[in-house]
Amino acid sequence: MIESVSKRAFSGSSGTYNVHALELAAARERKLKGLNVTVRFLDDTEHVFHVEKRAKGAVLLEHVYQHLELVEKDYFGLQFSENGCPHGNRSSEWMRWLDPSKSLKKQLGNCQYPLHFRVKFYVSDPSKLLEEYTRYQFYLQLRKDILEERLVLPASTSILLASYTVQSELGDYNPEEHGPDYLSHMQLIPGQTEEMERKICELHKLHKGQLPADAEFNFLDHAKRIEMYGVDLHRAKDNAGKEIQLGVTHLGLVVFQNNIRITVFSWSKIIKISFKRKQFFIQLRREPSESYDTLLGLNMETYRSSKTLWKSCVEHHTFFRLHSPRVKRRFPLSLGSKFTYSGRTEFQTMSEVRQRGILERKFVRSPSKQLIKQPTPAPPIEDKGKFLTAPARPPGPYANKVTSLGTKEPKKAWTEDSRISDDDGGFLERTLETPYSPGVAGRVMSYADDEPPSPTLNGGTDTNVPILVSRVAPNTPADKCTPRLSEGDQLHQINGQDVSHALHQDVVRLIQEARSKSSGKLFLTVKPTVLLQDSPEPEEQYDFSIPGEALRKSMQTLAEGLASGALLARYETLYRKHPDMPCDEAMKAQNLPKNRYRDISPYDSTRVVLLNAPGGNDYINANYVTMCEGGISNRYIATQGPLPNTVDDFWQMILEQDCDLIVMVTTLSERGRPKCHKYWPDLGEEMALHNVLVKTETEELDETGGVHFREFILVDVQTCDQRRIRHLQYTAWPDHGVPDSPAAFLQFVERVREARRTGASDAPLVVHCSAGIGRTGVLVLAETALCAIERGRPVRPLEMVRSMRRQRAMMIQNASQYRFVCESVHAAYTKIIAEEEEGT
């Protein structure tokens, strides 16, 4: 048919367009002009990026950041090898960082090896990382550093970090799902053994309730304390020719020898760093007692390694110490390297993230690699520089033994604790329960495996508290032995091994390992305590006939209790929730969404009842708390930080209770997690609610930067009545733990007391943190104690906690908060005494 068509049909008004040939030509042209660069990420995935040959490194970096949707991107970089050497070889001089200011073609050349995305600047504290996804990338990097043995760390620390990895990936320990070998296929530690897996399993049980983000934060929080954390190592030789390693960190230059830190030259002590050929020089600041400058010279392996170290110092100093990079100056005849750090600093990164807000994004976490196990000897237990070896089999039939009966497998050293919350930037301090009861020195006790766990142990060098027994369960060997093991007894030795300065987890592990020996016998040495019962000291013990004597004696008892650890031991014996006070209203279906935490509920008998709330629901997570001390009755409303759906209820409570002072002891978010919804409008703006109108009239920040002062105008919509509300917000409490010093907190408490004295009404003071129990309880106890000191009355902090918990459950949430507030009260008393002595 086509043959019959004449040539005339294709002549004249006709044409063709060769699409395929042009597509191939364009593809060839793009290939000639561009580069295909493979980047391997921290989860071991790879992605190919196409960039122009003439493009600079910053273009590829930006493609990578966009691919990951990174916000806090300046901590990361791309590293590559010119000769294909393994990336795990940390001492290789051939590993280079991609320079954003130079062209890719000049840097990569014909490099066929993938670039590695990794952390370049290790943050000093993970709480500085505001994005959960950024912390996850740091977590992946440190896991890789450990598995590739670039990060040297004690065996006990590696086991602890591995337990957080298991919690992040598998969630809470469940005996029905997690069999005896559930960790055998996870690659967690180099040289992983069954003994290591058993210890990891025991620690995994303690992390119940932690979300993946929580477990990863705890992983980073422990990793930052490792001596080799974030150290960029470079090989060198000193003047005597000894092999050393120079590490560049956020602190400065660290000198190592055989992986042991010798000395640190902080950035504040360094005047200048320079290099010339293979020599590297450090000029130190002159001390007041010196009449000369100190110049240290070190020999590097090659000129290139010397320059690489110098560039790393320039980048780390600029990133961590300066607010903005130094501007390049162009000198036509300048000598030496013109290299400067051109990226953003840590200060700029943190400022930008705070301004734009935290990005809540969802992402998929990558699982651990599968492991083919090779049996290796189990490591010794370590404790801050010394080794605690597991106790050997006793030499004699009766020497230093505790006999265990039965043939069943021993119980685990820890039991699960279902009381989980995440209040005020920290998890509950879990009680570690063990089936082995320490006894008085020289006593032999026996145990049956079917008996319940007996003592509760607290303390250890990791918490700066002696190892103490805080609870003895009834009808257990510890309860039945003669003399009876008592709360507050201090554990000193296990089978002759000194544990007075050991970590908590190592003490429990030693007891468990001794129990698992073939003899199954244990000998413990304890120091008995004088605190044999959980009861307040009767007031008759204080001599009130001498002014100030009762107060002085109570403060002496407080100081002695802090020093011995007995104060915290007694605190641990208190109930968290009163057993006879129900919280039924909080558990109703319509009220559950109004609770910030599932385990923190108000007592029905002391809860605040709303009278005219929107929707007719009278529930709010708040309790009346009244503290009577020294003839003064301080009234509080302790409540949780408002949620988006409870802002209306919060202001309705302020209106109905005639309150004029709100104390906020938290920030709006911590570690990337919301702690309190912003329940007030911006300065000069108004917030219209169901029954009230709120306007922010003033907002100031004190000279320390840790206290915000605000004044609100609260308008009753129905009556048009106006009331001035004062708002004090304390933001100097760190994201995790407690403040380092009580001084700033005591100043804030004094400001709260002054605001209460100058108030227009005697209405209760509204105080809240996130859950309304931890920092809230600390503030209530501190103000109550200061009132007692002011009137010369004795201070009984344990009785104050008991009084608070009879009105709102779990007030002062954990032992570290209790210790902090007791230290603060004692510091306030000491200051008053010193001022009185100066006045006389």
Q: Dump pLDDT digits (tens) for 334-393.
A: 555 667 777 888 888 888 887 776 666 677 777 776 655 444 444 443 433 333 333 333
Q: What is the mean pLDDT of residues 269-279?
A: 87
Between the alpha carbon of residue 251 and those of residues 270, 286, 305, 592, the distances in Å are 11, 19, 21, 47
Q: What is the mean pLDDT of residues 461-486?
A: 57
Q: In whole angstroms, how far apart are CA 121 and each of 104, 160, 231, 248, 349?
A: 22, 24, 9, 10, 12
CA 669: distance to chain centroid?
14
Q: Give one DSSP letter per residue of 28-91, joined into a string.
A: HHHHHHEEEEEEE-TTS-EEEEEEETT-BHHHHHHHHHHHHT-SSGGGEEEEEESS---TT-TT
- Can you give the pLDDT at residue 389? 36
Percent of the chain whose pLDDT exceeds 70: 74
CB 472 within 8 A of CB 485: yes
Q: Report d(CA 152, CA 35) in Å as an integer.
A: 37
User: Which of 537, 540, 664, 602 lies closest to 804, judged by CA?
Assistant: 602
Does 2.30.29.30 match the CATH number of domain 232-326+339-356? yes
Q: Where in the chain is the domain with CATH 2.30.29.30?
A: 232-326+339-356
The answer on pLDDT for 224 being more than 70 is yes
Which residue type occupies 796?
Answer: R
Whole-angstrom Cα Rg for the chain: 32
DSSP secondary structure of 419-436: ---EETTEE--PPEE-S-
d(CA 452, CA 292): 69
CB 146 within 8 A of CB 222: no
Strand partners, 232: 248
Three-point CA angle 355, 356, 361, nearest 5°: 140
More confident residue, 496 or 535: 496
Residue 336 confidence (pLDDT): 57
Second CATH level (architecture) for the domain 126-151+153-223: Up-down Bundle (1.20)
DSSP state of 182: T
Maximum distance among all Cα pairs of the chain, rounded to whole angstroms: 131
Please provide residue 714's backbone torsions phi and psi, each rounded to the nearest 5 degrees.
Answer: -105, 120
* Residue 838 reports pLDDT greater than 80: no
Q: Which residue has the higher pLDDT, 690 or 396?
A: 690
**Cα angle vertex 762, ends 760, 768, to 5°?**
100
pLDDT for the residue numbered 244: 87
Residue range 308-331, pLDDT digits in tens: 888 889 989 999 888 887 655 554
Q: Which CATH architecture has domain 33-119?
A: Roll (3.10)
Tokens coding 391: 């106790």
Instruction: Assess contact for 195 and 189: CB atoms under 8 A.
Output: no
Evaluate the CA torsion angle 164, 166, 168, 174 in order and state its sign.
negative
Spatial CA neighbour of 604 closest among 776, 809, 450, 756: 809
Q: pLDDT by residue (tens digit) across 30-44?
A: 555 678 889 999 988
Handedness of CA 52, 57, 59, 64 (dihedral sign): positive
Task: Compute how many other C-beta atoms are within 10 angstroms of the C-beta atom of residue 836.
Answer: 10
Characterize the bridge pairing of strands 403-405 and 446-448.
parallel
Q: Is the pLDDT of residue 223 over 50?
A: yes
Residue 721: φ, ψ to 5°: -70, 145
pLDDT of residue 697: 95
Give the best-scoring range by mean pLDDT among 94-103, 142-151, 333-342.
142-151
**pLDDT at residue 108, rounded to an integer:** 82
**How many residues make up the chain in this entry?**
840
Q: Label residue 421 by pLDDT band (50, 70, 90).
A: very low
Ramachandran angles phi, psi of 246, nearest 5°: -100, 125
SS3 content of the chain, % helix, strand, coil (to 5): 30, 20, 45
Q: Which of 417-426, 558-567, 568-577, 621-630 has the lowest mean pLDDT?
A: 417-426
Instruction: Provide CB contacts within 8 A for 251, sequence distance 6+.
Output: 124, 264, 266, 267
Amino acid at 740: D
- What pLDDT score does 63 carry? 93
The half-sphere exposure of 796 on its side-chain side, counting CA atoms within 13 A, is: 19
Q: What is the percent of the chain with per-residue pLDDT over 90, rounded to a whole number?
A: 30
Q: Name the least confident of 72-86, 124-138, 427-441, 804-818.
A: 427-441
Q: Give dist(CA 385, CA 519) in Å, integer.
A: 30
Query: What are the distances in angstroms from CA 173 to CA 164, 206, 220, 433, 457?
Result: 12, 9, 21, 16, 21
pLDDT of 495 > 80? The answer is no
**Which one, of 551, 508, 560, lies nearest residue 529 by Cα?**
560
Per the prediction, the chain carries an average pLDDT of: 78
Give the CATH fold of the 394-527 domain: Pdz3 Domain (2.30.42)
| 156-160: average pLDDT | 89
| Residue 367 per-residue DSSP state | P
pLDDT for position 481: 55
Domain span(s) for CATH 2.30.42.10 in the chain: 394-527
Q: How confident is the model at residue 415 (pLDDT cuts 50, 70, 90)?
A: very low
Contact 219, 161 (CB under 8 A): yes
Cis, peptide link before residue 593, omega less than 30° from 0: no
Distance CA 147, CA 186 (A): 12
User: Considering the domain 574-839, what is its CATH architecture?
Assistant: Alpha-Beta Complex (3.90)
Please give the pLDDT value at position 360: 63
Q: Inform me whether the pLDDT recorded for 702 exceeds 80.
A: yes
Cα dihedral sign for 321, 705, 348, 125? positive
- CA angle, residues 319, 103, 232, in degrees to nearest 5: 35
Specify whether the CB–CB gap between 440 and 526 falls below 8 A: yes
> What is the spatial distance between Cα 813 and Cα 421, in angstroms, rounded to a whole number?
10
Geometric angle at alpha carbon 523, from 522 and 525, rounded to 5°: 145
Residue 769 falls in the annotated catalytic set = yes
Which strand (E) or helix (H) includes residue 4?
A: none
Region of poorest pLDDT, from 365-369, 392-396, 744-748: 392-396
pTM attached to this predicted model: 0.47
What is the band of 675 on the pLDDT scale with cuts at 50, 70, 90? very high
Q: Looking at residue 369, what is its pLDDT?
A: 65
pLDDT band at 488 (very low <50, low <70, confident <90, very high): low
Q: How crowded is residue 597: how many other Cβ atoms within 10 Å of its Cβ?
A: 17
Instruction: Name the packing angle between helices 774-790 and 797-805 (round to 10°).
Output: 130
Retrieve residue 418's tokens.
């279902």
Split at pLDDT 50, 70, 90, the class of 593 is: very high
Answer yes or no: is pLDDT of 676 > 90: yes
Mean pLDDT of 57-83: 88
Catalytic residue among 481, 583, 769, 822: 769
Task: Identify the H or E element spanning 708.
Answer: strand 707-716
